Chain A
């Protein structure tokens, strides 16, 4: 069935370091792909999305490119800040179904 696999955490980085959180997917159709972010004590917020192959989603300095050939949607940011500390969820949608990864916790230290 359809599913999302993302890298296990937790991830700890120093401020201004480069971030990559890996996400791969399995889907029978042509899914839309998403990254959500959850700050401590909050619900999930949509960070970025891409709806077709080779699309790049971007927001707040984060980027992810929909790679059909590698079935991946890796999240990247060139220089993380302490305020980026949160849990990040990769997700896919195929029609009426939505699937979340298990989340990757990121802590950025000054």
Chain B
């Protein structure tokens, strides 16, 4: 089975800190995605990547950036964390979207 691993399950950071959320997949998938999930808002796409060093903005990229230096790793960066970025962050990968996505277990980030 494809495994998508997110480095932290729970994270608490202070306002203004630079935060790195790491995601690694082990099945050579080209496509990787970062979502945030908030009550009543469902999943919202932040950024995605179809290849190494390639990135595309999703629906809510403001306040975030990403890095994909290696195929298996897709990092989400909060340049200066704010309290409104407190959320559950979900990473996903896919070989071809028609086959569905595989999700990591999520990182629950709290910014205080």
Contacts and interface: CB of A to CB of B under 8 A. Distances in A.
Interface of A: 32, 34, 36, 41-46, 49, 51, 89, 93, 95-98, 100-103
A42 B98 CA distance: 23
B92 to A, nearest CB: 8
A42 B100 contact: no
Contacts of B40: 102
A98 B97 contact: yes
- Chain B contact-residue range equals 20 to 34
Given A51-B98, A97-B97, A43 B41 contact: no
Chain A CB count within 10 A is highest, among B6, B40, B101, B104, for B101
A49 B100 contact: yes
A105 to B, nearest CB: 10
Contacts of B98: 32, 51, 93, 95
A103 B42 contact: yes
Given A36-B103, A93-B100, 14 more contacts: A32-B97, A32-B98, A32-B100, A43-B104, A44-B90, A44-B92, A46-B102, A89-B42, A95-B98, A96-B31, A98-B97, A100-B43, A101-B42, A103-B43
